[in-house]
Chains A and B, each alone.
Chain A
Amino acid sequence: MRVRGATILAPVALLALAACTNEARTLGPSLPQTAPAGNADPRVPAYQANLYQVAQGGRYFMWYGCSGCHDDSARGAANLSDGRWRRGGGFADVYRAIARHRPAPAYEATVPVEQLWQLTAYVRDLPAHHPEKRRRVTLDQEGEPQGSQWSGPQ
C-alpha cells in the first residue's frame, strides 16, 4: 500500500514541478535584440510558451495604453481576442502589425524590442482564454496606470 502511494505521488510531484518551468524567468543583463526573422524563429517559444513573458506583455499592454482601444468590446481588426488576424496570426506577422501599427503610431519607434516580443506573445495568447478570465485579469490590473491615465487603486 505504501509502495502504491509513492508510485502515485511521484508522478504528481513531477508534474507539479514541471509546471514551474512555464514561468521560468532569466534575470540578468539585457542582450541586444532584433525583430523575429519569421514565424518559425527559434526564439519564439521562449516567449510564447513562457507565462512570465506573456504576463509581462499584459502589463505593458496596459501601461502603454493599448487596452484603451483593444478591449473585448472592440470591433473588427481592433478586437484581438476573436482569433481572426487581418494581417496574419504568425508571431512575426503580429509583431510587425504592432511595430508598424496602423493607424499611427508605429510602436517600433517608442517601444523597445524586448517589450515588442512580450506584447506579441501576450496578444497571440488572448484568444486562448475564456472572456471571463480576460475580464478578471483586467479587474486585477485596475490599479495600474493605463497610458497617460492613472487614477490610483480604488
Chain B
Amino acid sequence: MRTAIVFLAVATLAGCAGIQSPLSPAGDQAAALHSLFTLMMIVCGAVYLIVLLGIVWSVLRSGTQRRFDSASGGERRLDRGLYVAASAIVIGLTVLIVGSFIADRALVAAREDDAVIVRITGHQWWWRIEYRDPASGRWIETANELHLPLARTTRVQLASADVIHSFWVPNVAGKIDMIPGRRNVVHLTPRRLGWFRGQCTEFCGAQHAHMAFDVKVDGQAAFDSWLARQGSARAPRRQSGRGASVFVQVCGSCHRVRGTEARGRAGPDLTHFASRRSIAAGTLPMSRGGIQGWLAQPQALKPGTSMPTVPLEPADADAVATYLETLR
C-alpha cells in the first residue's frame, strides 16, 4: 500500500516538470501565471483548512449542552467572531484580485518594438507558421515547428482557416483561442533554452489530439541562421531524379517546395521538411520509417486527416521518401 502511494506521488510530481507543463515555467508569461497559481493555492488552501477546522470544532462541541444567555458575553463574542471572519474574507479576496491584476498586467506588458513577428494559422489538424523576415518584410513559411529566440519577445498573431483551435505552449505562456474571422495576439518571452511542446486545446475534430507542434528556444545567433535557412528556396537544378518528379506530380497539388513546380498551398509547406523534428503535427517522429509509413497509410496513423493515401508503386514511394529526406 505504502509503495503504491509513493509511486502515485512520484508519478504525479513527475507531471509537473517536462516539456509540456505550466508548472515548469520557462518564459515570462508562464512565470506570471505560475506565481498567480501559487498565490491562489496558498489563499484557497488556507480557506479550505479554516473551514475544515471549523467543522471539526463544531462537531466536537456538539455534545456539550450550553444555555445561550444574551446577558453573558455570548452575543458579544459572536459579534466579534463575525467581524474577524468578514475581514478575513475581504482581505483574502483583495489579495487574490490584486494578484490577478498584477499577473494580467504582466501578460500584456511584454511590448517590444523589435519583437519577432510570427503568424500562425490553425488548420484541421496542423499549424501553418509564417515568420516575417525582418530584412525584407516577406513571410517565410514553415509548419508544425516554432522556433523562438531566447530572452526576446515574439509576437504571435493567431488565426484559423476552418474551425476554432487554441494555441498553448504551457511552458512559455498561457493559452489563447484561434477564432475564424478574428486575429488574436499572444506574446512569448522564453527564458530557457531547449525543446518544448505545444498543443491545440480546443476540441477541433477527430484528430484534435494529434494537433501538436514542437517549440525550440534558440540563442539569437542560432535562431537567425535557422530563419535564414528556412527562408531559402531549393536549388532547382538539384531537384532532379525520380523522387522529385513523382513528388511534383502527385504531392504538388497540395504541398509546396519553394524553388520547384510543387506549388500547392492546402497542406504544410515542405521546403525544409526534413529539418523538422516530427511528422504530421507531432504524430510521428521524423525518421525514414515515419516518412515511409506516413506516405503508405496516413489514414491508419491519423484517421480522418486530409492527407489522402496516394496509391504509389513501392519503388516510387521509396524514391519520394528518399527525396523528402533531402529537404533539410
Contacts and interface: CB of A to CB of B under 8 A. Distances in A.
A110 B300 contact: no
Nearest to A28: B303
A145 B266 contact: yes
Interface stretch (B4-12, B106-114, B249-257, B319-327): B249-257
A109 interface: yes
Given A63-B254, A113-B311, A144-B161, A150 B119 contact: no
A114 B121 CA distance: 27
Contact of B160 (A112, A114, A143): A143
A30 interface: yes
Given A28-B299, A153-B181, A148 B264 contact: yes
Contacts of B303: 27-28
Contacts of A30: 297-300, 308-309
B159 A143 contact: yes
Nearest to B269: A150
Contact of B253 (A27, A29, A111): A111
Contacts of B252: 110
A23 to B, nearest CB: 12
A125 B322 CA distance: 40
A63 B266 contact: yes
Nearest to A29: B300
Nearest to B178: A153
Contacts of A64: 253-254, 266
A33 B299 CA distance: 14
B162 interface: yes
Interface residues on B, range: 20 to 34
B206 interface: yes
Interface residues of A, number: 30
Interface in B295-311: 297-300, 303-304, 306, 308-311
The majority secondary structure among interface residues of chain A is: loop
Nearest to B300: A29
Nearest to B254: A63
The majority secondary structure among interface residues of chain B is: loop
A152 B250 CA distance: 24
A32 interface: yes
A143 B162 CA distance: 7
B180 interface: yes
B234 interface: no
Contacts of B254: 63-64
Interface in A104-153: 109-115, 143-150, 152-153
Interface of B: 119, 121, 159-162, 180-181, 206, 249-250, 252-254, 256, 263-266, 297-300, 303-304, 306, 308-311
Given A28-B303, A145-B161, A148-B264, 13 more contacts: A27-B304, A29-B300, A30-B297, A65-B253, A115-B308, A143-B121, A143-B162, A147-B265, A148-B263, A148-B265, A150-B265, A152-B121, A153-B121
Closest 9 CB pairs of A and B: A63-B266, A27-B303, A30-B309, A145-B265, A29-B300, A150-B265, A148-B263, A143-B161, A30-B299
Interface of A: 25, 27-30, 32-33, 56, 59, 63-65, 109-115, 143-150, 152-154
30 contacts: A27-B206, A27-B299, A27-B303, A29-B297, A29-B300, A30-B299, A30-B300, A32-B311, A59-B306, A63-B265, A64-B253, A110-B249, A112-B250, A114-B309, A143-B159, A143-B161, A145-B161, A145-B264, A145-B266, A146-B265, A147-B264, A148-B256, A148-B264, A149-B265, A150-B265, A152-B119, A152-B121, A153-B121, A153-B161, A153-B181
